[in-house]
Amino acid sequence: MRIWIVEDNLSFALDLEMFAEELGHEILGISSKGEDALPAITDQLPDLIIMDINLEGEMNGLDLAQKLEHTEIPILFITVHDRPDYFQKARKTNWAGYLVKPFDKLSLQAALEIALRAPKTEHLPEELSFLSNECILIKSQGIYFKVQFCDIDFIQSEGNYCMIHTNGKKFAIKISLRQLLDNLPQSQFVQIQKSYAVQQKRIEAIDAAENLVLIGAHRLPLGKGYRDSLLARFRVLK
């Protein structure tokens, strides 16, 4: 899992980073203030946020969670305060768990596993139906098109829509990229930038110097925060 940590206690944040990495997760970054975390998280779009409720600056963790609600990124809250009002406010956000400090590595591991296995509750748009583990049915201008996963080149997020690019056709669906990827086989599709995901088998080359992924005539941007996880899917010979 790709994780962003929001914690104003640097020593504790580094402990969190060490624990999470030992459990096999990737830490994209650490922020001590909500004002700094907001643009960074919006840009990187991690799979999970570990966030302290009490932060330096004008924005606390609950305020930041409200501003990030549109991203649908799950948040694991941590706090030294065992306050019922904090707990109730956290539940109204994209929360994935709530830990009261101090906690040990085992408690963190359990919370991360619960967050990772949390069921997806979003409703899929009526234009999109999943027929099997190999294909989807897309409604476009009153016509239903059967699209095999293997025929999808890449997916591009444009505002509230996703543009699915196949060999020869494009389909626009009102759905977030995160929601769409949550319902596609993770073994076949990989996100390469905040607005792009690709069918792994369609990748022809990865230009690490220029941060590009090449699929046919398309040169797609490769975000620095996604490069390592993409390369980890391949056996690289040097």
Of 59, 85, 117, the position where a domain reaches its end is: 117
H, E, C per residue of the chain = CEEEEECCCHHHHHHHHHHHHHCCCEEEEEECEHHHHHHHHHHHCCCEEEEECCCECCCCHHHHHHHCHHHCCCEEEEECCCCHHHHHHHHCCCEEEEEECCCCHHHHHHHHHHHHHCCCCCCCCCCEEECCCCEEEEEECCEEEEEEHHHEEEEEEECCEEEEEECCCEEEECCCHHHHHHCCCCCCEEEEECCEEEEHHHCCEEECCCCEEEECCEEEECCHHHHHHHHCCCCCCC
- Is 104 inside a domain boundary? yes
- Is 154 inside a domain boundary? yes
- Other residues' Cβ atoms within 10 Å of the Cβ of residue 70: 11
The pLDDT value recorded for residue 130 is 55
Domain CATH code at residue 143: 2.40.50.1020
Residues 6+ apart with CB under 8 A from 96: 48, 74, 75, 76, 111, 114, 115, 118
Same-domain status, 102 and 155: no
Same-domain status, 108 and 142: no
Total residues found in the chain within this entry: 238
- Is 238 inside a domain boundary? no
Same-domain status, 60 and 153: no
For residue 34, give both structure tokens: 């909500």
Same-domain status, 112 and 170: no
The model scores a pTM over 0.85: no
Domain of residue 219 covers: 128-231
Same-domain status, 111 and 207: no
Of 117, 144, 176, the position where a domain reaches its end is: 117
Q: Count of domains in the chain?
A: 2
Digits of tens for pLDDT over the chain (238 positions)? 899 999 999 999 999 999 999 988 999 999 999 999 999 998 888 989 999 999 988 899 999 999 998 888 899 999 887 778 888 888 888 888 888 888 888 888 888 887 776 654 444 565 565 545 677 888 776 777 888 888 999 999 987 789 999 987 888 888 889 888 887 888 899 999 999 999 999 999 999 899 999 999 999 999 988 998 899 898 887 7
Same-domain status, 134 and 77: no
CA distances from 231 to 46, 137, 208, 222, 234 (A): 17, 30, 10, 11, 6
Of 75, 97, 117, the position where a domain reaches its end is: 117
